Amino acid sequence: MIKVHIFHTGSVRVDQAIPYKEKNPLAVTGLFRGEEKKVILPVSCYLIEHPKGKILIDTGWDSKYVYEKPHRFGGLLNGISTPVIKEGESVDDKLSEHNLRAQDLDYIFFSHMDFDHTSGLCLVREAKRIMAAREELEDSRKYFFRYVKTNWNFANVEPFEYENTGIGPVGRSYDVFGDGSVVLVNTPGHTHGMFSAVVSGGGKYVVLAGDSVYTQRSIREKLIPGFTVNAKLAEKSLEWVCQCAADENCLLAAANHDPEVEEQTIELTD
């Protein structure tokens, strides 16, 4: 039995141009835009309990943001994405609800290295291995203004390499256990190294799409994210997620910030 647990580790307050790309390139900053343009979206992470190991995908917010505000670049970026988290919502608390500790995790994989996906690493730093795509680590150095390296610079974040498998929108993926049950499919556009995790069992599968899409509305209306390093690749990745979502064997295509996807556990036969 493979279990996929969907956790909401707080929320994020952003301009609506973050999840849904607009023509105005400055819209994502939220500058000079009213409160009616703001949305609050969940920040998710995923625990996969697999016979071959326990995997955590992304880490959500650091619990310190229950009490304090982040100070990224002197506060200049605070208005772009504002953490919203209550006591008991952080990833370590979510693991505790399943009688697990960080030491029980065989892997942490970052779908990508943005602030809201890496912030909680300090709470689970004792995991056996912490990994991200090589391209993602390269992006974190190249686009220094986007990333908060203090979220992970205390840890050994190992790079993994996508292989040319023909799987996904650009034909590249990484098979975690080598048996096709947990495959990290490169879905670039929002970042270069972004992955969507495909968890399979018993002829069915779940897609954990990260920020390749933001919500079910993204899928219904074919809307790419506001922040992209390559809009054309973002469109290809969106189309691939939409194809998966339409497949009768796909139990769920879950975006990381999807208010229509509730916390839940999905079971797959192995």
Residue 144: predicted pLDDT: 78
Residue 69: predicted pLDDT: 67
Q: H/E element holding 5? A: strand 2-15
Residue 65: predicted pLDDT: 84
d(CA 106, CA 204): 24
DSSP H stretches of helix in 154-253: 216-221, 231-246
d(CA 132, CA 211): 15
Q: Are 257 and 42 in contact (CB under 8 A)?
A: yes
Give the fold, CATH level 3, of 2-268.
Answer: Metallo-beta-lactamase; Chain A (3.60.15)
- The three-class DSSP label of residue 91 is helix
> Taking the C-alpha atoms of 216, 199, 187 and 236 in order, what is their torsion angle to the nearest 10 degrees?
-60
**Cβ-based neighbour number of residue 16 at 10 Å:** 17
Instruction: Supply the pTM of this predicted model.
Output: 0.94
Residue 254: predicted pLDDT: 98
Residue 5: predicted pLDDT: 99
Query: Which tokens in the block code for residue 254?
Result: 């879950």
- The three-class DSSP label of residue 47 is strand
Give residues with Cβ within 8 angstroms of 64, minimum separation 6: none
Locate the domains of the chain by residue range. Answer: 2-268
Stretches where the chain sits below pLDDT 70 are: 30-32, 69-79
Q: Are 200 and 183 in contact (CB under 8 A)?
A: yes
d(CA 134, CA 58): 16
Residue 224: predicted pLDDT: 97
d(CA 127, CA 11): 24
Residue 26: predicted pLDDT: 72
DSSP 141: H
- The three-class DSSP label of residue 90 is coil
